[in-house]
């Protein structure tokens, strides 16, 4: 394998940002899958310019394979072997037992504390990347306890897509920052554990829309204080010259975006339009911010949430806990994760 090891990525000397990736053209089905790869030094500037950046090779291919194997294995254990990734005849049980939102998103109960999620959060290359983004040190960060997204194709999906009945077809464009927060507050992240090919489920976004955030919400005011706000008028941004794309990325990349960017977890295209019709999706959500943004009370709340294995929103603070959904009570609890000293710092332990 000739990808750099994570340690090599973390220690790579500072070099100029590579030239901008070539603009992708629409594929069958009319979507654009765009490569946003850039090195860590250029990431922060690209996030300011267009709202997102993708840092490749933060995890090695081998690490991605072992993280996804661990995740599938834990999901098998949680579902008492009713879902087993190794046995495709059980794939419908992935949805019926774990009840992922829009057939993909798991963000409730204790799911956000699976060991594989913690292994990614406390991976030195991941923490190092966020430390560089925030111009701080690795021991100065706290992380979110958010979940993951996985998608497996099922035989009836194309029919559901054609009928417009699938949960994956619902419009979900949104921002993850509401009216109680001003300016750049949060750089969200996710790590895909499988390469993303044309037509796969991937982050769907409107480039540069974070720059129109204030204008958009002056025109379409917030209705409450939630940090999850649907954007029902994406034409507002498209009419201002912003482009709609899906992120193309390799496994182990760290995909980062400003929470004011209009985005959603984009659904798969019908299988005939996909470059790899059976490619699964698995992405781990990761977000870190400087510890100084948390009060002592925030840190105590975070430690408590960790002890209770509660899954939260993308924000490390203020803590927003997602309670268990119906159905989870018939599942095995997630195994209590093992934390390294760096992982404990990320929770908020150790002054």
Question: Under rule CB under 6 A, which residues in 305-344 are in contact with ligand AKG?
Answer: 314
Cβ closest to Fe ion, residue 157 vs residue 264: 264
| Number of residues binding to ligand AKG, judged by CB under 6 A | 11
According to the binding rule CB under 6 A, does residue 108 interact with ligand AKG?
no
Asked whether the beta carbons of 267 and 102 are under 8 A apart, the reply is yes
According to the binding rule CB under 6 A, does residue 227 interact with ligand AKG?
no
Q: How far is the CB of 75 from ligand AKG (least distance, A)?
A: 17
According to the binding rule CB under 6 A, does residue 120 interact with ligand AKG?
no
Strand partners, 258: 187
* Of the candidate residues 194, 213, 216, 285, the single one contacting ligand AKG (CB under 6 A): 285
| Number of residues binding to Fe ion, judged by CB under 5 A | 1
Q: How far is the CB of 102 from Fe ion (least distance, A)?
A: 12
Question: Under rule CB under 6 A, which residues in 138-157 are in contact with ligand AKG?
Answer: 149
Q: How far is the CB of 197 from ligand AKG (least distance, A)?
A: 15
* Of the candidate residues 229, 264, 268, 302, the single one contacting ligand AKG (CB under 6 A): 264
For the chain, give the longest Cα–Cα distance: 55
Q: How far is the CB of 138 from ligand AKG (least distance, A)?
A: 23
* Of the candidate residues 54, 106, 114, 203, the single one contacting ligand AKG (CB under 6 A): 203
Q: Which residue minimizes CB distance to Fe ion? A: 176
Task: Choose from Fe ion, ligand AKG, none: what does 279 bind? Cβ within 5-8 Å by kind.
Answer: none
Spatial separation of the C-alpha atoms in residues 320 and 145, rounded to whole Å: 10
Q: Which stretch binds Fe ion (CB under 5 A): 1-9, 54-62, 101-109, 175-183?
A: 175-183
Q: How far is the CB of 266 from ligand AKG (least distance, A)?
A: 7
According to the binding rule CB under 5 A, does residue 176 interact with Fe ion?
yes
Question: Under rule CB under 6 A, which residues in 171-190 are in contact with ligand AKG?
Answer: 176, 188, 190
* Of the candidate residues 206, 265, 268, 269, the single one contacting ligand AKG (CB under 6 A): 265
Cβ closest to Fe ion, residue 93 vs residue 149: 149
Q: Which stretch binds ligand AKG (CB under 6 A): 11-19, 20-28, 80-88, 259-267?
A: 259-267
Asked whether the beta carbons of 196 and 202 are under 8 A apart, the reply is yes
Q: Which stretch binds Fe ion (CB under 5 A): 13-21, 42-50, 169-177, 333-341?
A: 169-177
289: its two tokens: 């911010």
Q: Which stretch binds ligand AKG (CB under 6 A): 6-14, 60-68, 263-271, 333-341?
A: 263-271
Residue 234 CB partners (closer than 8 Å, separation 6+): 173, 206, 244, 262
SS (H, E, C) the chain: CCCCCHHHHHHCCCCCCCCCCCCCCCCCCCCCEEECECCHHHHHHHHHHHCEEEECCCCCHHHHHHHHHHHHHHHHHHCCCCCCCCCHHHHHHHHHHHCCECCCEECCCCHHHCHHHHHHHCCHHHHHHHHHHCCCCHHHEEECCCCEEEECCCCCHHHHHHHCCCHHHCCCCEECCCCCCCCCCCEEEEEECCCCCCCCCEEEEECCHHHHHHHHHHHCCCCCCCCCEECCCCHHHHCCCCCEEEEECCCCCEEEEECCCCEEEECCCCHHHCCCCCCCEEEEEEEEEEHHHCCHHHHHHHHHHHHCCCEECCCCCCCCEECCCCCHHHCCCCCCCCCCHHHHHHHCCCC
Instruction: Map residues 35-54 to x or -, x wherever contact with Fe ion holds by CB under 5 A.
Output: --------------------
- Sites of contact with ligand AKG (CB under 6 A): 149, 176, 188, 190, 203, 263-265, 283, 285, 314
């Amino acid at each position: 394998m000739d990808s750099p090891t994570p340690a090599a990525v973390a220690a790579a000397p500072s070099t100029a940002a590579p030239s901008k990736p070539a603009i992708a053209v629409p594929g069958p089905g009319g979507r654009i899958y765009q490569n946003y790869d850039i090195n860590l030094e250029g990431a922060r500037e690209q996030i300011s310019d267009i709202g997102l950046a993708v840092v490749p090779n933060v995890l090695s291919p081998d690490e991605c394979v072992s993280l996804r194997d661990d995740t599938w294995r834990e999901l098998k254990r949680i579902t008492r072997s009713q879902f087993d990734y190794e046995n495709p005849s059980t794939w419908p049980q992935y949805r019926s037992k774990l009840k992922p939102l829009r057939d993909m998103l798991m963000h409730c109960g204790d799911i956000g504390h699976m060991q594989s999620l913690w292994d990614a959060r406390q991976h030195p290359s991941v923490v190092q990347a966020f430390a560089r983004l925030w111009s701080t040190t690795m021991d100065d960060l706290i992380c979110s306890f958010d979940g993951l997204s996985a998608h497996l194709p099922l035989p009836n999906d194309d029919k559901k897509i054609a009928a417009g009945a699938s949960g994956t077809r619902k419009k979900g464009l949104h921002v993850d920052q509401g009216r109680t927060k001003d300016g750049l507050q949060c750089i969200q992240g996710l790590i895909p554990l499988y390469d993303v090919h044309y037509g796969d489920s991937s982050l769907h976004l409107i480039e540069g829309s974070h720059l129109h955030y204030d204008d958009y919400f002056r025109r379409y005011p917030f209705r409450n204080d939630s940090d999850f706000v649907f954007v029902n008028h994406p034409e507002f941004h498209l009419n201002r010259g912003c482009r709609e794309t899906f992120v193309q990325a390799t496994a182990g990349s760290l995909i980062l975006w400003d929470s004011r960017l209009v985005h959603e977890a984009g659904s798969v295209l019908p299988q005939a339009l996909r470059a790899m019709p059976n490619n699964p999706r698995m992405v781990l959500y990761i977000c870190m911010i400087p510890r100084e943004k948390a009060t002592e009370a925030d840190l105590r709340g975070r430690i408590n949430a960790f002890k209770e294995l509660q899954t939260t929103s993308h924000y490390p603070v203020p803590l927003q806990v997602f309670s268990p959904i119906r159905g989870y009570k018939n599942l095995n609890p997630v195994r209590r994760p093992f934390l390294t000293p760096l992982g404990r710092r990320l929770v908020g332990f150790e002054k």
